[in-house]
Structure 1
């Protein structure tokens, strides 16, 4: 049976000398690993948030001018989901590249593909210029983003989790998650700056392309920050000692495939909330008249700082009560928040702002420990591949279709659809955590 979310045992099969070398890495490496994780993953989140924000502010006018604003957003969100659908395929494909060549080669290919796909969108002609080809190319670049995201897994979060003192694992687990609100801060700040400094016509004509250009530069910086770690002899040796290497996907599924879905569902409440706080409110406000999109972007930037506070708090709490209990507590809080979501988002400007700030705070608290569900549940030799696939399916099941489903159902049945979506994620998380606890008891 697999280890539990709270497992803090040393891996079996190591001699005392081996364990001594591993603990030497633990004393030297955690802070440096954390920096590499934050810088590297910030680039990935930036790319995805740029696309998500553009789905609301840009793509309906540029690629779907023949549709109503609502339908244009829904079609944009459908393309948005493609990256998450193709992400597991990217993981599988690039794992084979790593087995054939090296971790550094795989990471370089993935990050250049991610940056190139995002930057390529900046050069896309509009629908009025080349017709349906524009939509097809947008969808093609989006699925390339998904393949690249799957390939960008470098194992550093797993190495960080394994190379930290047991009593500080909650703290170090949350550090890599800080890249999500940081990525949103950069993406949201760029769009807000462009919208306030340019006329609407200039923004739609060419201004929106700038964040997509910037993506390539950010990805290059992130690539070198990560290569600085993953290709060095010290970290290569640490990866080998911890058996953090890719294995065949079929072997992974046959051995502990159930853990992929158990881990994915265990963090589903967090992933369900992710795009309902960052992307969906933009679409809802853009279609309404309560406040301007620029005002909401400003509030979301403040909310991102609240998310950082929530993530830091999750690390402190998890080290006191355990990661599994923290995830369960966060899910319960999201459930309470879901009950008030329709009233907040459908209310006054002050109520909508409260929805954003509280939502980001809860997102940070829950997402801060979501990585624990993808690093602690596998045998050591399966952890590298298992953690990557679990993360892929958590995004696919919880976040991929959230903006599309929430906007489509809310416009037809009201904002109660947001409550139902969040509560379904909460139920999945609590059930998965309960199942994991039951399985652990039988070990």
Structure 2
């Protein structure tokens, strides 16, 4: 049984959010979009701050007793721990959602995320506590992953379900804007402190400031999201079970095929996500004479390109369909995988071409990768099923991408990174083909032509 809808409004912060809503009237789709972007930007900012520190800080601070390559591989292994924790967080916080409501769940998850990020900012290095430094870092990285898995709030679904039918591609794209905005802010902060401070000061205290900034962003993001889950629109969808949690294991059993398809559908974009945001910084730092400040500025510029490509994906998807955009962009990523990784060894111009081209393709694919199969879920399982799909896709497609890419490239060469990316492309194209056929068979019972991908 599910908790009654009245349990969903259960924190003083959420009641304060309701008062704000009452004072300002109903929330328009544009207000929902802004709230969703703020919430997602907070999550991705935490993500990118840790990712950049995994390359620039943790190998020297936590693993100084091994060579630089091995230290970076160890650091990427801890980076992957969060993606193991995300499915755990989904199961744990769905139970909290059912018993105590979405306000309690979201508040706990966001404070766990912010607290874990703050704890990492205070991390002692190997010089202070020895091997315990790595265990402490791994524990709080796991806590970050559990918090991210628990922070699923259904707001992207709220946005898409309230969108006009002919603007669905545009509104599905909007939550994805949080990724480039988080990257832009994180890379900019690290570039500033890395360029301002000498190496000793940066490794001693300069790198910690972006983690402190994350706490402030999380507080703003929490209230923005609570304001939206307190809206009449969310409450209406909650009452109708569109955004009401269902038991996770029951959802897995009854919706396993949709979950599998949804987890593999975005693999091309999710693999590329880490191969243009995290892996290049490690390769350039380890194997070239490139300046990390220059590369961070290049990433910030790439984030701007990412934003423009995301906007283009929403515009195009509303004219040709989301499935067409995903399929064509996956095919283009496949072509990109055949030559682009080698550009990282071609000097600053080659690096710029790799990054800019990668961000263009990433924006087109990532903009429409969210919830591509969510229409196939039954209404009572859509909320929980979408959460399981999102976390599973990140785990399969992205969680180990920097570790695998660096390991392959260091052993076999950059061409092997292209093969790794190509495997994600094959998974995406195969899943889109399978899902199209299945959607035609199930549409009479669901009343939805999911093959349209809208």
TM-score normalised according to structure 2 size: 0.90
Q: Distance in 2 between matches of 1:71 and 1:313?
A: 40
Q: 2:435 maps to what in 1?
A: 436
Q: Distance in 2 between matches of 1:235 and 1:399?
A: 30
- Decide whether aligned partners of structure 1 residues 401 and 54 sit closer, same or farther in structure 2, where only a CA change above 3 A counts: same
Q: 1:257 maps to what in 2?
A: 256
Q: Map 1:41-440 onto structure 2 (within 5 A).
A: 41-241=40-240, 243-373=242-372, 375-440=374-439
Q: Distance in 2 between matches of 1:235 and 1:253?
A: 24
- Decide whether aligned partners of structure 1 residues 45 and 186 sit closer, same or farther in structure 2, where only a CA change above 3 A counts: same
1:187-217 per-residue CA deviation (whole Å, 9 max, x = no partner) reads 1010000011111110001110111111111
Residues 376 and 439 of structure 2 are in contact (CA less than 8 Å); yes or no, is this contact kept in structure 1?
no
1:44-89 per-residue CA deviation (whole Å, 9 max, x = no partner) reads 0000110100010000110000010100000000000000011011
- Decide whether aligned partners of structure 1 residues 416 and 51 sit closer, same or farther in structure 2, where only a CA change above 3 A counts: same
Residues 308 and 364 of structure 1 are in contact (CA less than 8 Å); yes or no, is this contact kept in structure 2?
yes
Give the secondary structure class of the aligned counterpart of 1:442: helix
Residues 278 and 402 of structure 2 are in contact (CA less than 8 Å); yes or no, is this contact kept in structure 1?
yes
Q: Distance in 1 between matches of 2:57 and 2:373?
A: 34
- Decide whether aligned partners of structure 1 residues 374 and 56 sit closer, same or farther in structure 2, where only a CA change above 3 A counts: farther
1:212-236 per-residue CA deviation (whole Å, 9 max, x = no partner) reads 1111111001001111111344532
TM-align CA RMSD: 1.2
Q: Which runs of 5+ in 1 are unaligned?
A: 1-26
Q: Distance in 2 between matches of 1:95 and 1:314?
A: 32
Residues 169 and 319 of structure 1 are in contact (CA less than 8 Å); yes or no, is this contact kept in structure 2?
yes
In the TM superposition, structure 1's runs of 4+ consecutive aligned residues that sit over 4 Å from their partners are none
1:242-274 per-residue CA deviation (whole Å, 9 max, x = no partner) reads 521110012101211111110111111000101
Q: Which has the higher contact order (CA 8 A, sep 6+)?
A: 1
Q: Which runs of 5+ in 2 are unaligned?
A: 1-25, 443-454
1:108-157 per-residue CA deviation (whole Å, 9 max, x = no partner) reads 00000000000101111111111111110000000000000001000011
Paired residue total: 417
**CA shift for structure 1 position 42:** 0.5
**CA shift for structure 1 position 379:** 1.5
Residues 158 and 234 of structure 2 are in contact (CA less than 8 Å); yes or no, is this contact kept in structure 1?
no
Q: Distance in 1 between matches of 2:32 and 2:375?
A: 18
Residues 261 and 373 of structure 2 are in contact (CA less than 8 Å); yes or no, is this contact kept in structure 1?
no
Q: Distance in 1 between matches of 2:414 and 2:257?
A: 34
Q: Map 1:22-33 onto structure 2 (within 5 A).
A: 29-33=28-32
